[in-house]
Structure 1
Amino acid sequence: MSNSAVETREFQTEIRQLLDIVINSLYTEREIFLRELISNAADAMEKVRFLQLSGQEVKDRDLPLEISLETDETAHTLAIIDSGIGMTKEELVENLGTIAHSGSKEFIKHLTQDNKDLNLIGQFGVGFYAAFMAADKVVLSTRSYRPDAPSYIWTSEGTGSYQIEEGPEMARGTKIVLHLKENAHEFSSPDTIKRVIRQYSSFVPYPISVNGEKVNTVQALWTKNKSEISEEEYTEFYKFIANAYDEPLFRLHFSSDAPLSLNTLLFVPQENFEKFGFGRLEPGVSVYCKKVLIQEKSKDILPEWLRFVKGVIDSEELPLNISRETMQDSALIAKINRVVTGRFLKFLNEQAASDPEKYKTFWEKFGMFIKEGTATDFTHKQELVKLLRFESSAMDKGTLISLADYVGRMKEGQAAIYYVNGPTREAIEAGPYLEVFRKQEYEVIYTYEPVDDYILNMLREFEGKKLMSADQADLDLGQEEKSEETGLPAAEVESLNAWVKEVLGEQVTEVRASKRLVDSPAIALSAYGTYSMQRVMQMTNRDLNAPAPSILELNTDHPMIKKLNELRKQDDPFAKTAAEQIFENARIAAGLIVDPREMVDRLNRIIERALS
């Protein structure tokens, strides 16, 4: 031990202010202090490594670059030891006792003037003071990389002063011993320290050991070249970061320098547990800066509809607030969001083209998120639309098509892309809405969920082609009027329509002869566009009154309508009952919920008439 006297120095005023803030109100999670100290240790070793690579003379050149932590549950201490660059006496004073950089001084100024607004960028050395969140005394021993530099010991209780003295001979680097506060004794437990390291510092690029046991055993694969990584390594990494037991369905690993410097590794899981009713998924992508965790399961780095994706985004460009818990620059975060989301959507489109069956598996499990994105994310809408998949009248059940597939098969002269909504394929094909499309040989997309219709209605068009629902009242496919040779005379059609309108009253806004029906006697159309949203409202609110007024179209070629017209002309009272049931049948075919009480009574009268 050196005989040199202990030198006591006062902290600079700004440092005392900073200590007060750090100790009392800076971090929301106290365990963050360990991440800060490990990050500083890694930085110190990175500096030594640079000096070695540049050929400069470095003390203890063969000393392994590693971080060791030692816990003592009896003495309630925690030591963090690194073999990094170390510090001279002057550097100790500059880095730990004063604020030498104008940027740091400005930082303190903002903290004191703006009610301790912590959404500010941290500066060098600040993380060290986080040690006083857990310790009431810190003893730091250090020796610089400079060959002739002596060792020094820095001691402080985090109040107004610190002591510096020469220390005994030691290897290059720094050892920080934390004498833990009474309410922080948990940090002398090796299990607690291992947990915190695995959570925040698993991917620090140097070995970290706790009482001789290596803790950070998983490599930061996102920083390596793809050609250097095996499938087994990717799978093990996915299991680690996603807490999963199976293999991922898709993997995207890419690096970019422009417009941003990014290293990204994303995975799509095998299963969507949100679909199984396990509750809304939490975001699954964590943000790192130089392999140090900045924000776990970030809510901002990707859009909410990508919450099913697991993985890591690492950017050296991220400006952070001092605690590293809140990302500072919203414009930069938004830029990262756009870049990574765009790249992921491009990847999905590539997968859909190269392996349609695998993409079909993805769609069946995660298509709900693509739909959510299409409905809410206007920035990426055009790319998302390309990923939508549907069944259609031209393909067998279970075969999915894209909107681009549909457009590629459109008939010459076809003006629009047509779709129709229903609960199932069978229900759609049994209804009257496809009849004219079969006759015209037009393909129709089948949609089974209300969000599908919402999306297609919102899109309006795709590749210059309008999107139109097959149950739109104003649909014009160039159909011809019904011939009087097979149907009713025009004068009688007009009279029949007027009579039915009178019978049905406010339940219909219009009754007209249909140009679209082939086999069905009648079809109900929404007077306000399409029926899909009305069906949703009825399903979610059973107390709703009768469906909104409809437009009723009659197939004047159909025997049932011809017979109805005869009964009407004979003033047969049963004609009214028949007209009401024809209308009710049309609404049921539209998927609307009707009041069964009136209908049962009416059907009993119809059966009674048939039996007699």
Structure 2
Amino acid sequence: MSNQTETLEFQAETRQLLQLMVHSIYSNKDVFLRELISNASDALDKLRLESMIDKDLQVDTGDLHIELVADPEARTLTVRDNGIGMSRDDVVALIGTIARSGTAELLQKMRESRDAAASQELIGQFGVGFYATFMVAEKVTLLTRRAGQTEGTRWESTGAGTYEIGTVDDAPQGTSVTVHLKPEDSEDNLFDYTAEAKIREIVKRYSDFISWPIRMAVQRPGEEEGSSTTEVQTINSMKALWARPRDEVAEEEYRDFYRHVSHDWSDPLETIHMRGEGTFEYEALLFIPSHAPFDLFQREGRRGVQLYVKRVFIMEDCEALMPEYLRFVKGVVDAHDLSLNISREILQQDRQIQVVRRRLVRKVLATIKDLQANNAEKYRTFWTEFGRALKEGLISDTDNRETLLEVVSLASTHDPAELTTLAGYVERMKDGQSDIYYATGESRTMIENSPHMEAFRAKGYEVLILTDPVDEVWVEQVGQVDGKALRSIAKGQVDLDSEEEKKEAEAEREQRGKEYAALLTWLTEHLKEQVKEVRLSSRLTTSPACVVGDAFDMTPTLEKMYRAMGQEVPTVKRILELNPTHPLVTGLRKAHEQGGDEPALTETAELLYGMALLAEGGELTDPARFTRLLADRLARTL
């Protein structure tokens, strides 16, 4: 099978991405080398870890390193490692295909972006470092062999839509990527990437902290005039950034390290450098990104920080160190007293890891709280990107719930342009108001136009506007804030009148109750398949009707969420509330009292319920029947 080669096409999205890279959407092309070195470092980490786990794996880990080979005459730069390597299937899966949802959206945004910085941010969200080579290359050749396998794989492409892949017998273990640079006079080549000085500059700037030696053969003048000798030098310091005191690390070093661990091309929003001493010693260097990755809300998305033990890489995404709602946090934790052979399963139960996790979470939340108090712009960016994920912690992290409630920001009717904290809402509550009112829905517009809002708007009560799916769950779990109950405006009875107003309106309400008793009984019977009760409303001012739930009923949105997750939940019948002052409702009462046409009354009842359901954003069980009844009724009015 030696040297058998076939030509394959890139996946459509990969092909489009390559075209964008080839046409230089990003001005700083130096990062291609940073990305290749970062990938090589990951491969070395994985080999060392694999050799500890699999005792039957016959590999030499005595001299793991990264080698850079520049050939000015051939205009090539090769990045070589003796790490884990790849199989043929790995190469096709990792390079020929971008198997991630959200690809099409990313590409569209990148095509629309005219700004280099914006393009950089978009690429960073997706993490496509290998393709950066095509910013400077007219061709890329990859040679690799996975540790433990005998056959290697050769891959080559110009980035024009296809690639060649073949099997080779003599590939060394690990991976080498040879970048065939574009011609020297090309407009895309502002620098000579085969020049020693340029390579050193890039490594020093972006990769100095890499824990593996980065070696390069350099020419030095010989003792005799005109002669030279070749000398292999390690060109990075290999100093672990997290182990150095904070005052000895420059901000640029932090930023470069963040790009290395996150494969993100933009700067972090905030850096957290901490050291734990005492019973359990550890160092941690964590970062809050400046934007959410594309896979933040995807089940297969990456989560967790890197785990090291005494500078030895152990695990790439250590979920045990960071709760799921903080899955956007990137960085490194170096624990001093763990076993090098520790597994994911053991980590979940390890006491030291649990202690470290609690401290990390508290520090991250304290950092977010500090942003909220002292840097409004950064906090606004954070909440826009990660607020929805952070609210998941209100459900899962009861230990830190109080802190989370302090940093949560929510939309409300108080100021359409600004978010509010829960403490801010409580401060603005009316005299005598005992509950925090909220409304959930798909959008602000839908909630603001909902019939449920009418009485609250008329009385001047502030309502929190919650539009994220997670909001449906956390408000039920939390229940109250600062002794004030969280109360849905679409559930239970609503009475916003003052004691004086109640006394004035008591006789009127009693009279209306008598007037409408017969109609309410009739409607409850005729709509019994849809609702469990029909009653008069105290929350409506302009709409004829609305649909509400009992105080402890599951909301329709929550029902749909559970069913979408495959859970069977019983359908909850709701309550139809009527506005006794609306002409449609008063007309229906009079027609019923006068013994009006039964089919016509029944149709009106159906239409009334359907309109109430649509007004809150609900779904009709039989839209065709509703529209037919409505069309017939409108036709009779002409």
> By the TM > 0.5 criterion, same fold?
yes
Q: 2:244 aligns with which of 221, 224, 229?
A: 224
Task: Kindly indicate whether residue 633 of structure 2 is the aligned counterpart of residue 585 of structure 1.
Answer: no
Task: Kindly indicate whether residue 498 of structure 2 is the aligned counterpart of residue 472 of structure 1.
Answer: no
2:275 maps to amino acid: S
Q: 1:443 aligns with which of 435, 442, 462?
A: 462
Kindly tell me: are residues 580 and 297 of structure 1, through their superposed partners in 2, closer, same or farther at Cα, counting changes over 3 Å?
A: closer
Kindly tell me: are residues 208 and 30 of structure 1, through their superposed partners in 2, closer, same or farther at Cα, counting changes over 3 Å?
A: farther
Q: Tell me which residue corresponds to 1:424.
A: 443
What TM-score do you get using the length of structure 1 for normalisation?
0.63
The alignment of Structure 1 onto Structure 2 pairs a total of residues equal to 442
C-alpha contact (below 8 Å) 1:222/1:253 kept by paired residues: yes
Task: Kindly indicate whether residue 632 of structure 2 is the aligned counterpart of residue 605 of structure 1.
Answer: yes
Q: 1:358 aligns with which of 378, 392, 405?
A: 378
Once structures 1 and 2 are overlaid, which stretch shifts more, 285-294 or 30-39? 30-39
Aligned-pair distance for 1:540?
Answer: 4.4
Task: Kindly indicate whether residue 575 of structure 2 is the aligned counterpart of residue 555 of structure 1.
Answer: no
C-alpha contact (below 8 Å) 1:416/1:467 kept by paired residues: yes
Higher Rg = 1
Kindly tell me: are residues 359 and 302 of structure 1, through their superposed partners in 2, closer, same or farther at Cα, counting changes over 3 Å?
A: same
Aligned-pair distance for 1:188?
Answer: 9.7
Aligned-pair distance for 1:455?
Answer: 0.3
Give deviations 1:106-156, integer Å, cap 9, x for gaps: xxxxxxxxxxxxxxxxxxxxxxxxxxx99xxxxxxxxxxxxxxxxxxxxxx
Aligned-pair distance for 1:419?
Answer: 0.7
Kindly tell me: are residues 31 and 414 of structure 1, through their superposed partners in 2, closer, same or farther at Cα, counting changes over 3 Å?
A: farther
Task: Kindly indicate whether residue 472 of structure 2 is the aligned counterpart of residue 453 of structure 1.
Answer: yes
1:298 maps to amino acid: C
1:500 maps to amino acid: L
2:350 maps to amino acid: S
SS at 1:492 equivalent: helix
Kindly tell me: are residues 34 and 232 of structure 1, through their superposed partners in 2, closer, same or farther at Cα, counting changes over 3 Å?
A: farther
Gaps of 5+ in 1: 1-21, 40-69, 72-132, 135-182, 193-200
C-alpha contact (below 8 Å) 2:215/2:233 kept by paired residues: yes
2:485 maps to amino acid: K
Kindly tell me: are residues 204 and 33 of structure 1, through their superposed partners in 2, closer, same or farther at Cα, counting changes over 3 Å?
A: farther
1:568 maps to amino acid: H
Kindly tell me: are residues 553 and 223 of structure 1, through their superposed partners in 2, closer, same or farther at Cα, counting changes over 3 Å?
A: same
Q: Tell me which residue corresponds to 1:293.
A: 313
Q: Tell me which residue corresponds to 1:576.
A: 602
Counting only pairs closer than 5 Å after superposition, residues 134-213 of structure 1 correspond to structure 2 as 186=172, 212-213=232-233
Q: Tell me which residue corresponds to 2:265.
A: 245
Give deviations 1:494-516, integer Å, cap 9, x for gaps: 12211222332332211112122
Cα distance in 2 for partners of 1:206, 1:187 equals: 17
SS at 1:471 equivalent: coil
SS at 1:297 equivalent: strand
Aligned-pair distance for 1:34?
Answer: 6.0
Aligned-pair distance for 1:283?
Answer: 2.6
Once structures 1 and 2 are overlaid, which stretch shifts more, 509-518 or 299-308? 299-308
2:540 maps to amino acid: L
Kindly tell me: are residues 538 and 370 of structure 1, through their superposed partners in 2, closer, same or farther at Cα, counting changes over 3 Å?
A: closer
Cα distance in 2 for partners of 1:414, 1:584 equals: 33
1:473 maps to amino acid: G
Counting only pairs closer than 5 Å after superposition, residues 260-275 of structure 1 correspond to structure 2 as 260-274=280-294
Task: Kindly indicate whether residue 315 of structure 2 is the aligned counterpart of residue 315 of structure 1.
Answer: no
- The two structures, once aligned, show a CA RMSD in angstroms of 4.1
SS at 2:420 equivalent: coil
Kindly tell me: are residues 488 and 467 of structure 1, through their superposed partners in 2, closer, same or farther at Cα, counting changes over 3 Å?
A: same
SS at 1:391 equivalent: strand
C-alpha contact (below 8 Å) 2:451/2:543 kept by paired residues: yes
C-alpha contact (below 8 Å) 1:275/1:365 kept by paired residues: no
Q: Tell me which residue corresponds to 1:334.
A: 354
1:421 maps to amino acid: T
Kindly tell me: are residues 371 and 512 of structure 1, through their superposed partners in 2, closer, same or farther at Cα, counting changes over 3 Å?
A: same
Gaps of 5+ in 2: 1-47, 66-80, 83-146, 149-168, 179-206, 218-231
Cα distance in 1 for partners of 2:366, 2:251 equals: 22
SS at 2:581 equivalent: coil
Cα distance in 2 for partners of 1:291, 1:607 equals: 76
C-alpha contact (below 8 Å) 2:274/2:284 kept by paired residues: yes
C-alpha contact (below 8 Å) 2:209/2:238 kept by paired residues: yes
Give deviations 1:218-248, integer Å, cap 9, x for gaps: 5322122222222211111111222222111
State the percentage of identical aligned residues.
31
Q: 1:511 aligns with which of 521, 529, 534?
A: 534
Q: Tell me which residue corresponds to 2:87.
A: none
Cα distance in 1 for partners of 2:342, 2:577 equals: 69
What TM-score do you get using the length of structure 2 for normalisation?
0.61
1:493 maps to amino acid: Y
Cα distance in 1 for partners of 2:304, 2:565 equals: 35
Cα distance in 1 for partners of 2:281, 2:456 equals: 52
Cα distance in 2 for partners of 1:32, 1:454 equals: 51
